[in-house]
Amino acid sequence: MGENDAAKNHFASQVFSVSVDVPSQGGGSKWFDDDGRLKRTGTVWTASAHIITAVIGSGVLSLAWAVAQLGWIAGPAVMFLFSFVTYYTSTLLSACYRTGDPVNGKRNYTYTDAVRSNLGGGMVKICGYVQYLNLFGVAIGYTIASSISMMAVKRSNCFHKTGGKDPCHMNANPYMIAFGIVEIIFSQIPDFEKLWWLSIVAAVMSFTYSTIGLGLGISKVAEAGKFQGSLTGISIGTSVTETQKIWRSFQALGDIAFAYSYSLILIEIQDTIKSPPSEAKTMKKATLISVSVTTLFYMLCGCFGYAAFGDMSPGNLLTGFGFYNPYWLIDIANVAIVVHLVGAYQVYCQPLFAFIEKAAAQRFPDSNFVTKDIKLPLPGSRSYNLNLFRLVFRTIFVIITTVMSMLLPFFNDIVGLLGALGFWPLTVYFPVEMYIAQKKIPKWSTRWVCLQILSAACLIITIAAAAGSIAGVVGDLKTVKPFKTSY
């Protein structure tokens, strides 16, 4: 091993072994929790809002396309299967928030903290790389989705003015840049605890555009007087080749997995919840509420979208509608998507921001640039603590994700790839392994074997979904020029 490799490995071990423990302050007090931090105020409803904000994201828009690839039998069945697996593994993961005793045990503030406490060793680095790479990818996916929705508003107005005579093509880059500028401002919100209001606004927006998408699908079905589609999905020969059908079916699995992915920020959401009762108990309720609500929405949006369009179901339900009347309704839906994605971007990126900033503070404790807060008085409220490292790092992060979005503007394939890469390791493998370690489940016992079968089956699905999405990205790269994407 060369000196450079050794240095890289040393740096990685330092970064992924960052500890965020706070000395215990006993049993807590009126103002502080048992770990010495300010009292957490989150409830089952704020946790549900955070989850719904994270889950009902841009993923809902690709579900009609996903159902179209799989058909009336496999499409809804796969969605229900993913919802069950997500709910079950989320309950396993929520039990790992505290190590040892579920009420008074040591808190794990982040996903990687939970892995460190329960599995340790090299698993922490693997989890950290997968989690933070996935969060970075989600930021790119949301930037692409928001630009598509902003352009959809502009295009629907253009179609309305010209009566459909102008194709109304436009470049995506200015819209991605505009979204990036907004995210630079919002990314200065210091931490997750301060995001509750943005999450509630975003959750309301997600219901708004999902309901409009559902309503448009129902109206189109009513207008046609019949359900489109078939039991086995998109037709081989007329629409796609046999090979394309296989790849697209695999990619559909990734799209559905992405639509349910939020496990990578579950522990961070759980760390906002007050106790008693135990955080795990509250989180299980919040998970049941949110996964049930989102599954109902997903079934309705995916199925009515497929019923409306059949084999021609668009990759993005709202921007793919062939009619633009009532155009103002589609405008409202797309504006709601953009507002929601502003919030969802922050919900997903805050854990990554916090991790990097804590790592920097531990490596450079004497640096004023990294650790010093500058108090800025704000009219009508408390002063804002400006941290120069936070300002610079988060701004650079948003700029990088915006540039990457301009390079890879393929919404459907990026969504599928992100879903595939994050689903098995973060939603299934680590929660299962941590739960086995925490509960000391004996090897080769019935429960251990069942959990391992679940993990292995989900790994096979992940590999298939990743292969389908990569095939889609390779196909897109042949036709799309970076920085010159237009719709």
Mean of pLDDT values over 365-380: 75
Residue 203 · residue 53 · CB < 8 Å: yes
Q: Which residue has the higher pLDDT, 167 or 243?
A: 243
Mean of pLDDT values over 242-246: 83
Report how far residue 487's alpha carbon sits from residue 476's, in angstroms, rounded to the nearest whole number.
14
Fold of 44-478: Amino acid/polyamine transporter I (1.20.1740)
Which residues, at least 6 apart from 343, have a Cβ–Cβ distance to it below 8 Å? 53, 195, 198, 199, 201, 202, 205
Q: Which residue has the higher pLDDT, 462 or 61?
A: 462
State the Cα torsion 218-222-225-231 to the nearest 10°. 10
Phi-psi category of residue 395: left, alpha or beta, with phi > 0 → left and psi -120 to 50 → alpha: alpha
Mean of pLDDT values over 252-256: 82
Residue 422 · residue 134 · CB < 8 Å: yes
Cα distance from N-terminal residue to C-terminal residue, the chain? 48
State residue 452's pLDDT score: 93
Name the helix (H) or strand (E) containing 385: strand 384-387
- pLDDT band, very low/low/confident/very high, at 486 (cuts 50, 70, 90): low
State residue 446's pLDDT score: 92
State residue 34's pLDDT score: 66
- pLDDT band, very low/low/confident/very high, at 453 (cuts 50, 70, 90): very high
Question: Does pLDDT of 105 surpass 90?
Answer: no
- pLDDT band, very low/low/confident/very high, at 410 (cuts 50, 70, 90): low
191-220 pLDDT per residue, tens: 655 666 777 787 788 778 878 878 887 887
Buried b (16+ CB within 10 A) or exposed e, 96-123: bbbbeebeebebbbbbbbbbbbbbeeeb
257-311 pLDDT per residue, tens: 777 777 777 888 888 888 777 788 888 888 898 888 888 888 888 888 888 888 8
Q: Which residue has the higher pLDDT, 267 or 326?
A: 267
Task: Report the predicted TM-score, pTM, of the whole model to 2 decimal places.
Answer: 0.74
310-324 pLDDT per residue, tens: 887 777 777 665 445
Lowest pLDDT segment from 39-48, 62-71, 90-99, 286-295: 39-48
The helix-helix angle for 446-477 and 242-260 (nearest 10°) equals 120
Task: Select, from the ranges 186-190, 363-367, 410-414, 437-441, the one with the highest average predicted confidence (pLDDT).
Answer: 437-441
State residue 396's pLDDT score: 92
Q: Is the peptide bond before 326 cis (omega within 30 degrees of 0)?
A: yes
State residue 6's pLDDT score: 41
Question: Does pLDDT of 14 surpass 90?
Answer: no
22-36 pLDDT per residue, tens: 444 445 566 777 666
Helices of type H across 408-485: 411-422, 430-439, 446-477
Nearest to 284 by CA among 56, 89, 436, 434: 89
Per the prediction, the chain carries an average pLDDT of 78
State residue 456's pLDDT score: 93
| Sign, Cα dihedral of 293, 296, 300, 302 | positive
123-176 pLDDT per residue, tens: 888 888 887 887 888 788 888 888 888 888 887 777 777 766 666 777 778 889
Nearest to 15 by CA among 125, 169, 140, 91: 125
State residue 2's pLDDT score: 45
Question: Does pLDDT of 250 surpass 70?
Answer: yes
- pLDDT band, very low/low/confident/very high, at 56 (cuts 50, 70, 90): low
Indicate the domain borders of the chain.
Answer: 44-478
Question: Does pLDDT of 17 surpass 70?
Answer: no
State residue 45's pLDDT score: 84
